[in-house]
Amino acid sequence: MREISSPSLASRTTLRLGGTAIAELILDGPEDFTALPERLQTLGGTPLVLGAGSNILAQDGQLPLVLVRPNITTGPEIVGRAGDRILVRAGAAVPLPRLLRFCAQHGLTGLEGLAGIPGSVGGAVAMNAGSFGVQTCEKIEFIDVFTQGCINRITVAGLQFGYRTLSLSGKNQDFIVVEATFGLTESTRDGITNLMRHNFFEKKSRQPVTAWSAGCVFKNPAGGFTAGKLLDMAGFRGKKLGGMAFSEVHANFLINEGRGEAEAALTLLREARDAVLSRFGIGLEPEVRIVPCLSL
């Protein structure tokens, strides 16, 4: 296990915000996971499992957090077959775009809708990332997770997932994704590549994919309207405060214009949530993870 003291959240998240944590623990292999509980107890603070940091809004200042980085970079690789499905395994730290390129090169379809989503495989699984009608967890055969002091293999039947959520069925316990194995089907390389390219450029045309952001900051509510549409109608497209802004391209993206601070970001989120509730009677829930945990 490698340990770094006083790591910066701003340099480890795509929103480029946040103060410093107590420490960062980098887990390179199974023995590191086994030693993790004891080290966390010694350090104190609240553990925060961090992948590529693409869905995190970290507060400023000295934070009572210990960052836990599962640095499992195995794969992507084909590891077998289950019926008509080809099994592809990837470690938690594998970048999601690398997994998608591997699938395209090997003619494996099922994950094309995730094109243009940043982050790691572990993060995509843990939050059930989705786009263009595809949810990450719908394609899982099984995942290896660290929970209750050991690494266990959980099949898809043992998972409970929904809109941007994943839990172990019937259990209220923390876990860390170590590896994920997906069940994909064969198709033409050109067809897969073209669909990924289409999805990426479609996303790029309506989302600020090159800006410092954490993706969509609010979940889409039930009932038809998207969070972006509600924020737009409430007048928050392009609204700025202290170096932070709701994007002119997509109102549900909060971006750091290069000098933003977390307090300004949180103020904008509160103002936006309150305005939508007041005008439309709809309560928006954060999709971005605010750390340390804070209710808007």
At 294, the pLDDT band (50, 70, 90 cuts) reads low
At 173, the pLDDT band (50, 70, 90 cuts) reads confident
287 is catalytic: yes
- Three-point CA angle 292, 294, 296, nearest 5°: 150
What percent of the residues of the chain are helix, what percent strand, and what percent coil, each to the nearest 5? 30, 35, 40
Q: If you average pLDDT over every residue of the chain, what do you get?
A: 94
Q: pLDDT tens digit string along 206-237?
A: 889 889 999 899 999 988 889 999 999 999 99
Q: Fill in the amino acid letter for 139.
A: K
- Residue 294's alpha-carbon distances to 59, 263, 279, in angstroms, are 9, 12, 24
- Residue 276's alpha-carbon distances to 83, 116, 128, 249, 282, in angstroms, are 48, 28, 26, 19, 6
Contact by Cβ (8 Å): 98, 76 = yes
Q: Is the dihedral of CA 267, 212, 261, 92 positive or negative?
A: positive
Q: Determine if the pTM surpasses 0.85.
A: yes
Neighbour-count burial for 275-292, b at 16+ CB within 10 Å, e otherwise = bbeeeeeeebebbbbbbe
**Which tokens hold the place of 124?**
């995509």
Structure confidence at residue 47 (pLDDT)? 95
Average pLDDT over residues 187-196: 96
Higher pLDDT, 255 or 171: 255
At 179, the pLDDT band (50, 70, 90 cuts) reads very high
The one catalytic residue among 24, 112, 179, 287: 287
Please determine, for residue 110, whether its predicted confidence score (pLDDT) is greater than 80: yes
Q: Are strands 159-162 and 212-216 parallel, antiparallel or unpaired?
A: unpaired
Please determine, for residue 274, whether its predicted confidence score (pLDDT) is greater than 70: yes
The one catalytic residue among 16, 179, 216, 237: 216
At 143, the pLDDT band (50, 70, 90 cuts) reads very high
Average pLDDT over residues 183-205: 94
Please determine, for residue 154, whether its predicted confidence score (pLDDT) is greater than 90: yes
Give the rounded percent of residues in the chain with a pLDDT score beyond 90. 85
Domains in the chain, ordered, with CATH? 2-70 (3.30.43.10), 77-206 (3.30.465.10), 212-291 (3.90.78.10)
**Which tokens hold the place of 167?**
């839990």
Phi/psi for 99 (5° steps) reads: -60, -40
Please determine, for residue 144, whether its predicted confidence score (pLDDT) is greater than 90: yes
150 is catalytic: no
137 is catalytic: no
The one catalytic residue among 164, 237, 261, 273: 164
At 64, the pLDDT band (50, 70, 90 cuts) reads very high
